[in-house]
Amino acid sequence: MAQTALLSARTMPLPELVLGSSSRYRRELLSRLRIPFITASPDIDESPTSGETPRALAARLARQKAEAIATRLPGHTVIGSDQVASCGNRQYGKPGTRDAAIAQLAELSGQTVVFDTALCVIDGRSGQTYETVVPTEVVFRPLSQAEIERYIDLDDPLDCAGAAKSESLGIALLERLSGDDPTALVGLPLIRLSAILRELGYPLP
């Protein structure tokens, strides 16, 4: 019965795609797929809960973002995503200020940082939810104070977790990185998202 209902839902017209994010980086990434979409800000509380791992936090926030928009815009296919950077027992969010960005990079100098990027897609026809978390391991090279300040002034990474833009000048701060999807580090794992949207019938190669 459930399979029949799902097949029936798949024959309906494709719902409009909504990116549940106000991030310009995610908007630019999703634009690469050349599928029309709109954006909506989920406006959720992104505070971690006690004892929550970075991976669990990223997954929960991606899900809550998608659910918040799906409730507001029923019948749309909604994409939620979130990213949490961690090094050891510390988690790193968007620094917000120059001083905070300097402090983040000083702490991460010479360290290995894991960026957990979570994705949640809610099918606007069946209501089915697709979820995944894509980790990327990043090794920062040792950085001097002068290098850190010069980078921050040139690249302005105040709205990036870990205070570095790998898709821009921030790549020069790194020794190496490893992961299954380079776009996950920027904020939206397009390889996995493409597979989900293709399964839902959206026109992708």
Query: Which residues pair with residue 139 across a beta bridge?
Result: 112, 176
Size of the chain in residues:
205
Among 82, 116, 155, 181, the active-site one is 82
3-state secondary structure of 115: strand
**Whole-angstrom Cα Rg for the chain:** 18
Contacts by residues 106-112 (CB-CB < 8 Å, ≥ 24 positions apart): 106/143, 106/145, 106/148, 108/140, 108/162, 108/163, 109/140, 109/141, 109/142, 109/143, 109/148, 110/140, 110/141, 110/142, 110/143, 111/87, 111/139, 111/140, 112/87, 112/137, 112/138, 112/139, 112/140
Active site residue 82: yes
59 in helix, strand or coil?
A: helix
For residue 72, give both structure tokens.
């507001």
Tokens in use for 62? 């991606």
Tell me if 123 sits within 8 A of 70, measured CB to CB: no
> Which residues have a catalytic role annotated?
82
